Structure 1
């Protein structure tokens, strides 16, 4: 187990190194001058030259990368050209908003996908199955930005049940935090739930057609015992994979939803960094996304061994 974890962590570090090289190269291909943008109307050639030298942008790209990578290994991701704040502090500041939205949306998705997918598979070919399949198809097809606007029109402007946008810290007011969280979480959760529903249905259907199900039926076990004791544990493996991918996607920040609902998450931070040509912030945000995605994949692999004893970690 420890050897396997060491190998997986090593592969994560190699992948992170590849991401840093790719991100650094792509970021510097973005047209525009971050120092010039940060100065705005206060442009002064002397200040411009000084800031460019301090940031190292006057050095060759290879030297810039080595210098930045050396600081990143020590936990220093640099400073924002726009706000002069450290990138680490900006990412940490946005992290609670991203985490709350991601886990709330995932909870909504699982509450929809697991019961609907299981019932749809157990009653395959019924009207309920067709209705669930059609609903999931609609959920996948509807663009998030359109659904977000419709939710705002219905729940915020027409019914006045929820605020249309914004964010309130849970430490300031838990109730207001929850009220502001509902609409963005619902927007992301319904789309993710529609995707997961289809995978849950397929996984359960495949498990229902296995020989061990027919053996359990021959033993006289009830349908509930077969589904809960045999089908669901074996269907959990492919479901875990998709859940992990969805969680990694959400933790990276859902940019469109965050912009529409003025949600101060990592995705919105990255978008603002692109608009401002803020190299350091964009690199830090993408590194966070890559690390989060790799970490979620590692946790999913560990859960494989817990869910399926046939899996051997070596």
Structure 2
């Protein structure tokens, strides 16, 4: 297991380098010039040149990249072009909002997906199976932002059970935090729960037909023990790969759902940065998001290796 961890960590080094190059290159080649937005149409050529020099835009691209990587390695992602706020401070201020929304959505997706998938696999062809399959198809077809608008209209505006907009930090009020993330987390996790349910059902149906499951039942083991101790553990092996992808999807979808519920997370920060062509802010957000995805991928790789000994290096 230790060798697996070392191999996965070493494999991340070239990946992070490639991501840093692509992130810096693409954002630096965006059309337009941030100096034009700062100086305005009434600015003089001298003011324009002074702003470009202050922002470091007059330096060669390779030199700017080396300078950015050097500071990023120390945790300094630069300073915003427009409000002189440190990018790392702005990102870390918004990150807990997006992370909490993604985490709650992931818990909902896993719980609902596992329950629906197991229930459908235990009774293939039954009404429960057909309802779960229909619900999974329905869940994957609905855009999360549309589902979020529907939930807000019914449960926030109509019934007034939850707040329609805003975010309450968990440090302020646990109940307020849970109420503020409930609807956006359900809207975000619904499609992922559908994908997980389909994968769990498919894997469980195959596992339940194996000879060792029949042997366990013939020995008189209870159905609960057979399902959760023997069948589910082996069925989760292919599900882990889907789970890793779905968490990444949740993280990206959170940026959109935040706009529906007016939550000031990374999504709002990213959209504002794109509109202003705030290159350091865009680069910082992308780099942090990629780092989170890489950590999630590493965790799922290790979980996959734990569940499947064949995946471990000999």
Distance 2:62 2:191 in 1: 42
| Alignment pair present for 1:80 and 2:83 | no
Shift of 1:116: 1.1
Q: Which residue of 2 is the match for residue 228 of structure 1? A: 228
| Alignment pair present for 1:204 and 2:213 | no
8 A Cα contact 2:117 2:201, kept in partner: yes
Q: Which residue of 2 is the match for residue 146 of structure 1? A: 146
Shift of 1:224: 2.6
8 A Cα contact 1:253 1:265, kept in partner: no
Q: Which residue of 2 is the match for residue 156 of structure 1? A: 156
8 A Cα contact 1:258 1:268, kept in partner: yes
Distance 2:178 2:223 in 1: 39
Q: Deviations over 1:192-213 (max 9, x none)?
A: 1111111111111121122222
Q: Deviations over 1:151-186 (max 9, x none)?
A: 111111111221111122222333322221111111
Shift of 1:293: 1.1
Q: Which residue of 2 is the match for residue 99 of structure 1? A: 99
Q: Which residue of 2 is the match for residue 89 of structure 1? A: 89
8 A Cα contact 2:189 2:250, kept in partner: no
Larger mean CA deviation between 96-105 and 219-228 belongs to: 219-228
| Alignment pair present for 1:61 and 2:61 | yes
Shift of 1:25: 1.7
Q: Which residue of 1 is the match for residue 52 of structure 2? A: 52
Shift of 1:13: 1.5
TM normalised by structure 2 equals 0.92
Aligned 1:115-130 pairs, distance under 5 A: 115-130=115-130
Q: Which residue of 2 is the match for residue 189 of structure 1? A: 189
8 A Cα contact 2:106 2:247, kept in partner: yes
- C-alpha change, 1:91 and 1:212, in structure 2 (3 Å) is same
Distance 2:43 2:190 in 1: 47
Q: Which residue of 2 is the match for residue 179 of structure 1? A: 179
Shift of 1:265: 1.9
Shift of 1:249: 3.0
Please report the RMSD computed on the Cα atoms of aligned residues, expressed in angstroms: 2.0
Q: Which residue of 2 is the match for residue 267 of structure 1? A: 267
Unmatched 5+ residue regions in structure 2?
none
Shift of 1:217: 3.2
Aligned 1:34-53 pairs, distance under 5 A: 34-39=34-39, 43=43, 45-53=45-53
Equivalent residue pairs, number: 314
Distance 1:175 1:44 in 2: 54
Q: Which residue of 1 is the match for residue 255 of structure 2? A: 255
Shift of 1:299: 0.9
Aligned 1:298-309 pairs, distance under 5 A: 298-309=298-309
Q: Which residue of 2 is the match for residue 170 of structure 1? A: 170
Q: Deviations over 1:218-252 (max 9, x none)?
A: 43434333212210110111222222222233335
Distance 1:20 1:210 in 2: 46
Distance 1:210 1:37 in 2: 65
Unmatched 5+ residue regions in structure 1?
none
Shift of 1:40: 5.0
